Structure 1
Amino acid sequence: MDLKGLVDKAKTALRGNPHLIEKGGAAIDKATKGKYTGHVDKAQDAVRKAVGAENQGAPQPGQTPQNPTAQNPTPQNPTPPQDQPRQNPPQ
């Protein structure tokens, strides 16, 4: 496969899965500890425009993401400490 074919294949994949653009940016932000967040955001916008996914992916200002992830989620079924017996809820 030549370079043009590879680029076209990448564009098609990103157009069909725009969340990967966000995921890649998040990985870069994590690796750089957010030092280049502004640059990463601009690059993500450029990639969205290049692949034709401008209306997909990142929420526009004033919108909330469809699947926001909590910063400190609480476990659904926390396990009790090992030294204390588990108490049954009242019925």
Structure 2
Amino acid sequence: MGLEDLVNKGKGLYAQNKDKVDDALKSDQAEDVSDRVLGGAADFAKKVLPDSVDGKVDEVRDKLDGSLGNDR
């Protein structure tokens, strides 16, 4: 089975379970996990990148966080 076959199989499984996947991505649990992961990644980025990009790091974190979980 090649990579294209795997991708197509994944697309098919997503299509069959789209409602369940969408519900899971908008759940309280997804919100908690996304807040922790994105917050940790942003904190790490701020430590290793110049202070001048901190605002951009926060902007990217907030945009991604708005796409996951249920806290809009």
- The equivalences for 1:60-79 within 5 A come to none
Q: Residue by residue, what CA displacement relative to the aligned partner does 1:33-60 show, whole Å, maximum 9, x if unpaired?
A: 32211111111110111113536xxxxx
Residue 15 (structure 1) aligns with: 31
- The equivalences for 1:1-91 within 5 A come to 2=7, 12=25, 15-17=31-33, 18-54=35-71
- Aligned residues: CA RMSD: 3.1
CA contact (8 A) 2:30 2:69 kept: no
Q: % of aligned pairs identical?
A: 14
Larger Rg: 1
Cα 1:37/1:46, change in 2 over 3 Å: same
For structure 1, which runs of at least 5 residues remain unmatched after alignment? 56-91
Question: Structure 1 or 2: larger helix share?
Answer: 2
TM-score, scaled to structure 2: 0.50
TM-score, scaled to structure 1: 0.41
